[in-house]
Structure 1
Amino acid sequence: MPDYGDYCPVQMASEVVADRWTPLIVRELVLGNTRFNDIARAMPGISRSLLVQRLRHLEKKGVLETWPAAAGRGHEYHLTPAGKDLVNVIDSLGRWAIEWLFDDLRPHDVPPTTLMWWMRRRVNVEAFPPVRTVVEFRHTAPVAQTIWLVLDRGDVSVCHQHPGFEVDVTAIGTTADFADVFQGYRTWTEAVDEGRIEVLGPPRLTNALPRWFLWSPWAEVTRERAERAARDPEVAQG
């Protein structure tokens, strides 16, 4: 890691968290991903060796610590008090990008698998159905792909093959339309009403589905920014 010197607090902080990928790792820890594979799946493009390097760097700097895995083998990564103090930093970075780089954001470019892992980490456990529920997401474009989320007693599994349980709810749409909802460009209800997303299943489940997810932490600010840009195209330029 480069040495920026110890004569300025911003320089010192940059040495800890400003290298490429490091803020995204902190983002994943802030949002509740604690296992190595889960962090890797939510960050397409980073090599496993580089992820190991960055995690070790953050542990050395006191931003995170490792705990024995609560279940199974291996260990988990958890933020220390110093790491938790970065929550507002990560939030501010996201808000800054939405405000000033809005026209450069490409929410539709997210791969289907990555989007489903993002949705997994943003489930609303308190709103879960009381019994195991399988939600089938049929991505129709740009690549046809079906991914299942299994909600079961406070846990969520992402399956790329049929989980072997009966599907309770099916959502059909493009990856771009699912991403728009997750990021906050439109609500789930709007996407369904506009015909962008089709939902199949018992009404009690299809009506409840939007409450099972908390969506992006920046969904509200994204929606407000998109509305301003729609009213005044010049706003989209920041």
Structure 2
Amino acid sequence: MKGYGQFCPVAKTAEIFAQRWTPLVVRELCFGPRRFTEIHSGVPLMSRALLVQRLMELEEAGVVATEPLAQGKLYRLTPAGEQLSGIVCLMSEWGQRHGQGRIAHEELDPTLLMWGMRRQIATSELPARDIVLRLEFRGIPRAHAARRYWWMILRRTDVEVCLKDPGAEVDVVLSADLEAFVRVWLGRKGLSDAMAEGEIALSGAPAKVAELKRVLRLRDAPDLRVLSFRPAA
């Protein structure tokens, strides 16, 4: 790990946390223990070799601990690593307020959106029965054209994301321009305006649509979404 040659605490923190990709790796671990493949799903453009290197560096710095499994390892933040969650939240809030104008069309990745949605759904707030959502996106960058249709099964034990029809009865269909839905998901635009402008449509029984809006926290008016982390298992 490259150093700054200073004893300053800011420099020492930056030596560990401010390397390329490291904040995003820590972000993934803030949601609880993760297997290597789960971490990589949150940073798909990062090479697996570099992820291995960053995890080793974080472990050497006392930020990450590992637990052996029958196959592979489970990575979790140490108490020192958990304290970095405050920095990650501050970065998220700053980016929401000052960095969203920098989003380029080619950065609109439906896979990352679905992964981000999945990890921020509070399963404890879901009803006893499953909720099945089908998502149909348009305006997708060419590189992700094959990932237009998605299914999400929301249940108290887990949230399952599928690229193929799981065969379950669909409760709600969400059809949306990808960029518009990203803006609504981030809380930068209200759902009501996006629906009135034809950018997003929700179809299904009114009670189920209302329930889905509640569990996904899709607000009718703009309300910047604050990054929150579920307690580690």
Which TM-score band applies after superposition, normalised by the shorter structure? 0.7 to 0.9
Structure having the larger proportion of residues in helix = 1
TM-score for both structures, normalised by structure 2: 0.82
Letter in 2 for 1:111: D
Equivalent pair of 2:135/2:173 in contact (CA under 8 Å): yes
Equivalent pair of 2:134/2:150 in contact (CA under 8 Å): yes
Q: Which runs of 5+ in 1 are unaligned?
A: 224-238
> How has the CA–CA distance of structure 1 residues 31 and 93 changed in structure 2, closer, same or farther, with 3 Å as cutoff?
same
Q: Compute the displacement of 1:88 (Å).
A: 1.6
> How has the CA–CA distance of structure 1 residues 119 and 111 changed in structure 2, closer, same or farther, with 3 Å as cutoff?
same
Aligned-partner Cα distance in 2 for 1:222–1:163: 29
RMSD: 2.5
Q: Which moved more, 1:101-110 or 1:124-133?
A: 101-110
Matched, 1:122 2:125: no
Q: Compute the displacement of 1:127 (Å).
A: 2.6
**Correspondence for 2:83 among 75, 82, 85:** 85
Aligned-partner Cα distance in 2 for 1:134–1:126: 16
Q: Compute the displacement of 1:124 (Å).
A: 2.3
Q: Secondary structure at the match of 2:152?
A: strand
Equivalent pair of 2:189/2:223 in contact (CA under 8 Å): no
Aligned-partner Cα distance in 1 for 2:101–2:202: 30
Superposed CA deviations along residues 108-129 of structure 1, whole A, max 9, x for unmatched, are: 8321111111101111213313
Q: Compute the displacement of 1:32 (Å).
A: 3.9
May I ask how many residue pairs the two structures share in their alignment? Answer: 218
TM-score for both structures, normalised by structure 1: 0.81
Matched, 1:162 2:162: no
Q: Secondary structure at the match of 2:170?
A: coil
Map of 1:210 onto structure 2: 213
Q: Which runs of 5+ in 2 are unaligned?
A: 227-233
Aligned-partner Cα distance in 1 for 2:139–2:130: 28
Q: Compute the displacement of 1:167 (Å).
A: 1.7
Equivalent pair of 1:64/1:78 in contact (CA under 8 Å): yes
Q: Compute the displacement of 1:147 (Å).
A: 0.8
Q: Secondary structure at the match of 1:151?
A: strand
